[in-house]
Chain A
Amino acid sequence: MKARIFAKAALCVSLLAVSVGSALAADNVKIGMIQPLSGPNSVFGVNCQRGMQLAVDMINEAGGIKSLGGAKLELVPADIPTPNTAAQATQRLISREKVSGIVGHFVSSSTLAASEVTERMKVPLVTFAFADQITERGYKYSFQVTPKGTVFGADQFNYIYDMMKDHGKAPKKIAILYEDTAYGTTQAKGLRAAAQAKGVEIVVDEAYPLGITDANPLINKIRATSPDIVFPVSYFNDALLLIRGMRQQGINIPAVGGAAGYVINDFRKGLGEYCEGILSVASSNQDLAPKDFVDRFEKQYGVMPTHDAISHAVAVDVMAKAIEKAGSADPKKIRDALAETNTCDGIASAIPGKCVVFDKNGLNTKTFPILVQWRGERLVTVYPKDVATSEPVLPQ
């Protein structure tokens, strides 16, 4: 009997302790994470999640949000495999989980769908997606840390054009192959315009559906027209098919990929030796990011952090700094602080250009795309010259 009373008392005391304890600690600040965690794009989503989680961990270990009494950040994930589910998932994060802000999504169309909800419910969204429209609609709650898709396309062309010109052999004819998704078409648009501005002939300009299983018709076109450079813009599987197909058939025309599928670890794993020397544009790279972040990422996950993980970590850091500045978990106040973002340190400095400053539409004005190249197991930055860590290896 005595034992039972004792047990009851102990239970009461411990319950009390738990409730007092949780009341004393500062409330966590929740950040919603929208990513494709299942379905065909999950290979990217999981990568992005790693970068974001690491950024959150590092911010928390450095003392959390100091203006909120050291409150910890908490990442609340929501899986958005297709744009159809974006609105519901975003609404759940906002009204159920009461997140202070949302970071993501990797895919443009899902980001656009989610931004319709964040704008109406007045919760800030910091995204990595490339689509031009994200910051062209005059929305107040959408922020884009990376350049726009057409800018990526234009620089995908201009960078390699300038590089080859420096080597005394400017390309005369090129091929553009792109997925008929929002990302593919936007970027191809920028590419096409840049090539036309330089008077370069476009001998292949082909859109193809996402998820093709046979790249041979495309490769045959390239063989028939023998362009100086091939510009493929695609997600993962078709990137593998295209490059593997070309190299296996002995077509060694240099390829300059359009980020996405060309700059992730699985690309190298899938291609093996064919991967060596492939160029691509990217929004950021491991050799430009803070060393502590890169080292820790590699230690924790066993792979090199790629640009999607890094740029999403930047987005988280930008959000955290806005929360710090706002001194509040109120989404509206965080949005106002985000609009005045001017940061050049911490994880945010991983972005090329080192700084994040948003214009009135929410687009980061300080950053620019970079050109990266596969060397063994790593991606190195080869262009523009002022940030390059290595000389490009160009085919002879």
Chain B
Amino acid sequence: MKFKGVTLNARTAVYLCLAVAFLIPLGMDPDGYLLRIVSMVVLFAAMAQAWNIVGGLANQLSLGHAAFFGLGAYTSTLLFIRQGISPWAGMLAGGVVAAVAMLLLSIPLFRLRGHYFALATLAFAEVLKIIAIHFADLTEGPTGITIPYGEPSFANFQFESNTSYYVVIVALFAVVSLIFWKLSTGAMGFRLRAIRENEQAAEVSGIDTYRIKLGTSMVSAFTMGMCGTVYAQFTYFFDPESIFSMTGISVRVALICIIGGMGRLWGPLIGACILIPLDEIAVNTMSDVAGLGPFVTSVILIAAIIYEPRGLISAWERLRRRAQKKHAAQSGQAAGAV
């Protein structure tokens, strides 16, 4: 594309548009509903991206990512409440706890594949939920934890304005996406793709599949733990039921990724942009009839999966390819005319 003498690459144009899109919410009403929803979209995109690292790259379908999410939230919040440690440090600690949990979990679990791995992770999150409910001395039990409403300060990870939370959430998404991008490109990307396509073949060609899968899983758990901290700070309250929720967190992040495009950098963002507003609209407009909201949402999602099994990002790419073909044909004709 030529624009006043400056050649603009199509890819650069898309990225520019995206950057502008991320800037728009800065101008929204800080107390507004819209900003909250946008923040939730980006936060869930970050969570789905964390899932994408293990689910999309290492091809380990996890249905228990709420476990790492909750571990992050509990670690940072308990450290803050009991020890006065800043949630920023707590966020890293939460990530480490989540990664260690993944390490311990992986030792028995990596013998399992496919559905069995998914079921085992699902059970792990449920077990953590029960632990959080019954070890009340440690976790405050089923009533959940309130982040004390103190003076907003950077050290306390509490801000006056929701705009600041939005900035933190976008930064989180950027960090997780950067990690994903680093892992998916270069030599590591090739190894992971080899494992994804055929694990035995990869093993034979000299790739240490166990270590690579373990490493990526731990990175995924670490970033998911960080998301947990940010979520806790953003909503100020959580309880075992909601933070370790199977439908609310585990399945949702996987679903976002699958709808958007598994193993693709922009898949989670596309998925979150569709799923979160869809849920919100359903709950706001269809609550009069019991069950109508979830029903409509499910039908739309099933249709999306049938239409584009590899995620909506491939629909976008197909459109682009078609446009390029058309463009090429046109310029070909033009060249012929000259």
Contact B248 A108 (CB under 8 A): no
Task: State which of B147, B236, B245, B294 has its C-beta within 8 Å of the C-beta of A38.
Answer: B294
State whether A137 and B40 are in contact (beta carbons under 8 Å apart), knowing that A113-B235, A180-B142 are contacts in the complex.
Answer: no
The residues in A between 81 and 124 inclusive whose CB is less than 8 angstroms from any CB of B are 81-85, 87-89, 91-92, 94-96, 108-109, 112-113, 115-117, 119-121
Complex: A37 Cα to B289 Cα, angstroms: 9
Chain B count of residues within 8 A CB distance of the other chain: 36
Type the 1/0 row for A108-152, where 1 means its CB is closer than 8 Å to any CB of B: 110011011101110000000001010001010000000000000
Contact B283 A81 (CB under 8 A): yes
Stretch from B16-24, B27-35, B91-99 contacting the other chain: B27-35
Contact A139 B149 (CB under 8 A): yes
Q: Using Cβ atoms and an 8 Å threshold, which residues of chain A touch B188?
A: none
Q: Separation in Å of the A67 CB from the closest CB of chain B? A: 27
Stretch from A162-170, A182-190, A255-263, A384-392 contacting the other chain: A182-190
Contact A182 B29 (CB under 8 A): no
State whether A131 and B283 are in contact (beta carbons under 8 Å apart), knowing that A38-B294, A95-B29 are contacts in the complex.
Answer: no
Could you tell me the dominant secondary structure of chain B's interface residues? helix
Q: Using Cβ atoms and an 8 Å threshold, which residues of chain B touch A42?
A: 290
Tell which of A42, A81, A91 has the most Cβ of chain B within 10 Å.
A91
Complex: A116 Cα to B287 Cα, angstroms: 23
Q: Using Cβ atoms and an 8 Å threshold, which residues of chain A touch B290?
A: 37-38, 42
Residue of B nearest to A85 (CB): B283
Contact B287 A37 (CB under 8 A): yes
Contact A109 B144 (CB under 8 A): yes
Residue of B nearest to A139 (CB): B149
Complex: A131 Cα to B141 Cα, angstroms: 13
Complex: A139 Cα to B319 Cα, angstroms: 53
Complex: A88 Cα to B33 Cα, angstroms: 7
Q: Using Cβ atoms and an 8 Å threshold, which residues of chain A touch B324?
A: none
Q: Using Cβ atoms and an 8 Å threshold, which residues of chain A touch B31?
A: 91, 94-95, 121
Tally the A-B contacts, defined by beta carbons under 8 Å. Answer: 109
Tell which of B37, B136, B239 has the most Cβ of chain A within 10 Å.
B239
Complex: A116 Cα to B148 Cα, angstroms: 10
Contact B237 A119 (CB under 8 A): no
Contact A82 B37 (CB under 8 A): no
Complex: A209 Cα to B235 Cα, angstroms: 25
Residue of A nearest to B234 (CB): A87
Tell which of A78, A79, A184 has the most Cβ of chain B within 10 Å.
A79
Q: Separation in Å of the A234 CB from the closest CB of chain B? A: 13
Contact A95 B32 (CB under 8 A): yes
**A207 in the interface (beta carbon within 8 A):** yes
Contact A185 B142 (CB under 8 A): yes
Contact A91 B36 (CB under 8 A): yes
Contact B133 A120 (CB under 8 A): no
Contact A82 B248 (CB under 8 A): yes
Complex: A115 Cα to B235 Cα, angstroms: 11
Task: State which of A77, A79, A91 has its C-beta within 8 Å of the C-beta of B33.
Answer: A91
Contact A113 B237 (CB under 8 A): yes
Q: Using Cβ atoms and an 8 Å threshold, which residues of chain A touch B37?
A: 88
The residues in B between 127 and 155 inclusive whose CB is less than 8 angstroms from any CB of A are 130, 133-134, 136, 141-144, 146-147, 149
State whether A77 and B242 are in contact (beta carbons under 8 Å apart), knowing that A112-B144, A116-B237, A180-B133 are contacts in the complex.
Answer: no
Q: Separation in Å of the A90 CB from the closest CB of chain B? A: 10
**B280 in the interface (beta carbon within 8 A):** yes
Contact B142 A181 (CB under 8 A): yes
Residue of B nearest to A116 (CB): B236
Contact B146 A116 (CB under 8 A): yes
Complex: A109 Cα to B144 Cα, angstroms: 7
Task: State which of A82, A133, A137 has its C-beta within 8 Å of the C-beta of B242.
Answer: A82
Contact A92 B248 (CB under 8 A): no
Complex: A89 Cα to B287 Cα, angstroms: 12
Q: Using Cβ atoms and an 8 Å threshold, which residues of chain B touch A77?
A: 287
Q: Using Cβ atoms and an 8 Å threshold, which residues of chain A touch B36?
A: 87-88, 91-92
Contact B144 A38 (CB under 8 A): no
Contact B291 A109 (CB under 8 A): no
State whether A182 and B142 are in contact (beta carbons under 8 Å apart), knowing that A38-B291, A81-B283, A89-B283 are contacts in the complex.
Answer: yes
B→A interface (CB under 8 Å): 29, 31-33, 36-37, 40, 130, 133-134, 136, 141-144, 146-147, 149, 235-239, 241-242, 245, 248, 280, 283-284, 287-288, 290-291, 293-294
User: Could you pull out 20 A-B pairs where Cβ atoms are within 8 angstroms?
Assistant: A38-B293, A38-B294, A77-B287, A78-B284, A83-B242, A84-B248, A87-B36, A89-B283, A92-B33, A95-B29, A108-B143, A109-B142, A109-B239, A112-B143, A116-B147, A133-B146, A180-B134, A182-B142, A185-B136, A209-B130
Closest 7 pairs (CB-CB, A-B): A79-B287, A116-B236, A182-B143, A92-B33, A37-B287, A83-B242, A84-B248
A→B interface (CB under 8 Å): 37-38, 42, 77-79, 81-85, 87-89, 91-92, 94-96, 108-109, 112-113, 115-117, 119-121, 131, 133, 137, 139, 180-182, 184-186, 207, 209-210
